[in-house]
């Protein structure tokens, strides 16, 4: 019996692979390597001493998925595969709707034929949309998404909700991630974006490494404690551990349930920059720049539902996030 991780060589998938193997699960990874590298499988093996079975496969390709389900007894799927660059989703929306929606629907169809009834989905805090008030709670209305990427998450949540309503044997867990940062303590796996990073932490680490000459802080006139944006940064290893708990939950409960995976605490952009400099003893040159289009002032989770129902709570703080992110960047080839 195995657990399938689509997108399992990516940033969050690879960390979750490590935690699942450490928890005793047999896993199979399917990834088309559009945003990751096959060498990640070697790193997972180095960390866990166990090599996951790997298929270079596109999750939108039904025949490739059927082969994976034929060759393995898959009891649950964690669906990480998808495109995630917010800006690109605005300029190339069809590419995003095609890949993100198609992969989820194809997977659901193949799972149904194979009698596989547990689906854990990588959703995002972005589904709370513009205008929602913090802290975000799971029962709050969703929608009014700021970009096509967010809408794909919103739509897949709806598709999975309907699928669970129609199939009494199906168990769906929607995980709304906040802002994952950091890396595994080994420094072997982490976030390695292609090209110029869009997200804050990889931009900071690449500036520290001398690959960028300075960080632009997008806006210092928000209604926050220091004027810069506030986010719920969560260590990716904590996030990965949340998936192990979600899988246990799906094994015992039917229907569709949604959980925020965040720490419940918001820190500002300058909090993160200052902590990074302090913990790692490195200067990050930064300049205040205009606000970035589509950004909101503040986003953080109410994280009590995951604590109560999953028995999960984030353990690692901002210092560990900054230390581990830099450790990974220094190791990057």
Query: Judged by CB under 6 A, which of 3, 4, 11, 127 binds ligand NAD?
Result: 11
53 part of the interface to ligand UFG, by CB under 6 A: no
Q: Residue 113's binding partner, choosing from ligand UFG, ligand NAD, none, with beta-carbon cut-off 5 to 8 A by kind? A: none
Nearer of residues 146 and 254 to ligand UFG, judged by Cβ: 146
Could you say whether residue 269 binds ligand UFG (CB under 6 A)?
Answer: yes
Residue 200 binding: pick among ligand UFG, ligand NAD, none (C-beta 5-8 Å cut-off by kind): ligand UFG
Burial label, 324 (beta-carbon count in 10 A; 0-12, 13-18, 19+): buried
Q: How many CA atoms lie within 13 A of 321 on its CB side?
A: 27
Distance CA(231)–CA(61), nearest Å, equals 36
Q: Which stretch binds ligand UFG (CB under 6 A): 15-23, 121-129, 302-310, 311-319?
A: 121-129
With CA atoms as reference, report the closest residue to 239 among 307, 309, 312, 329. Answer: 312
- The DSSP string of 218-254 is E-S-SSSSSSS-EE-EEEHHHHHHHHHHHHHHHHH--
Query: Considering the rule CB under 6 A, would residue 98 count as an interface residue with ligand UFG?
Result: no
User: What would the two tokens of residue 43 be?
Assistant: 């790193």
If contact means CB under 5 to 8 A according to the sort of partner, which of ligand UFG, ligand NAD, none does residue 249 touch? none
43-72 positions binding ligand NAD, by CB under 6 A: 58-60
Q: Between residue 188 and residue 217, which ones bind ligand UFG under the rule CB under 6 A?
A: 198-200, 203, 215-217
Cα(229)–Cα(220) distance, integer angstroms: 8
Nearer to ligand NAD, 101 or 282 (CB): 101
The beta strands (E) that lie in 134-197 are given as 171-177, 179-181
SS3 content of the chain, % helix, strand, coil (to 5): 45, 20, 40
Nearest residue to ligand UFG, scored by beta-carbon proximity: 229
Dihedral of CA atoms 25, 180, 144, 215 in degrees, nearest 10, equals -160
Q: Is 59 helix (H, G, I), strand (E, B) or coil?
A: coil
Q: Which position has the token pair 């513009």?
A: 130
Based on CB atoms, which residue is closest to ligand NAD, 116 or 181?
A: 181
DSSP 285: -
Residues from 119 through 158 that contact ligand NAD (CB under 6 A): 122, 124
Binding site partner of 203, from ligand NAD, ligand UFG, none, Cβ cut-off 5-8 A by kind: ligand UFG
- 242-274 per-residue burial string, b: 16 or more CB within 10 A, e: under 16: bbbbbbebbeeeeebbbbbbbbbbbbbbbbbbb
Q: How far is the CB of 180 from ligand UFG (least distance, A)?
A: 8
Asked whether position 325 contacts ligand UFG by CB under 6 A, the answer is: no
With binding defined as CB under 6 A, does residue 263 bind ligand NAD? no
203 is annotated as an active-site residue: no
Among 31, 232, 238, 257, binds ligand NAD (CB under 6 A): 31
Where on the chain is the footprint of ligand UFG (CB under 6 A)?
84, 86, 124-126, 177-179, 198-200, 203, 215-218, 229, 231, 269, 292, 295
Residues catalogued as catalytic: 149
Q: Residues in the site for ligand NAD, rule: CB under 6 A?
A: 6-7, 9-13, 31-36, 58-60, 80-82, 84, 99, 103, 122, 124, 177, 180
């Amino acid at each position: 019996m195995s657990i399938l991780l689509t997108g399992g060589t990516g940033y969050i998938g690879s960390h979750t692979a490590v935690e699942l193997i450490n928890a005793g699960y047999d896993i199979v990874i399917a990834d088309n390597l559009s945003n990751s590298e096959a060498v990640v499988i070697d790193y997972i093996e180095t960390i866990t001493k166990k090599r996951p079975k790997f298929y270079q496969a596109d999750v939108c390709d039904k025949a490739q998925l059927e082969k994976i389900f034929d060759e393995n007894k898959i009891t649950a799927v964690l669906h990480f595969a998808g495109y995630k660059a917010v800006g690109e989703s605005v300029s190339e929306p069809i590419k995003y709707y095609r890949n993100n929606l198609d992969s989820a629907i194809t997977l659901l169809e193949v799972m149904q034929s194979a009698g596989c009834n547990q689906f854990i989905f990588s959703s995002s805090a972005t589904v709370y949309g513009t205008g929602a008030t913090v802290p975000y709670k799971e029962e709050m209305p969703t929608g009014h998404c700021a970009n096509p990427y967010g809408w794909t998450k919103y739509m897949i949540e709806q598709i999975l909700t309907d699928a669970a309503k129609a199939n009494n044997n199906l168990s769906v867990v929607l995980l709304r991630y906040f802002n994952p940062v950091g890396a595994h303590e080994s420094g072997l796996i982490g976030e390695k974006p292609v090209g110029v990073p869009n997200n804050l932490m990889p931009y900071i680490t690449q500036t520290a490494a001398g690959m960028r000459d300075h960080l632009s802080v997008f806006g210092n006139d928000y209604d926050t404690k220091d004027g810069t944006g506030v986010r719920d940064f969560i260590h990716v290893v904590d996030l990965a551990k949340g998936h192990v708990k979600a899988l246990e939950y799906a094994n015992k409960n039917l229907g569709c349930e949604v959980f925020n995976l965040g720490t419940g605490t918001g820190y500002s952009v300058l909090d993160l920059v200052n902590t990074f400099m302090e913990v790692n003893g490195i200067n990050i040159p930064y300049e205040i720049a205009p606000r970035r289009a589509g950004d909101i002032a503040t986003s953080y989770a109410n994280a009590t539902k995951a604590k109560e129902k999953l028995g999960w709570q984030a353990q690692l703080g901002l210092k560990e996030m900054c230390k581990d992110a830099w450790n990974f960047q220094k190791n990057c080839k």
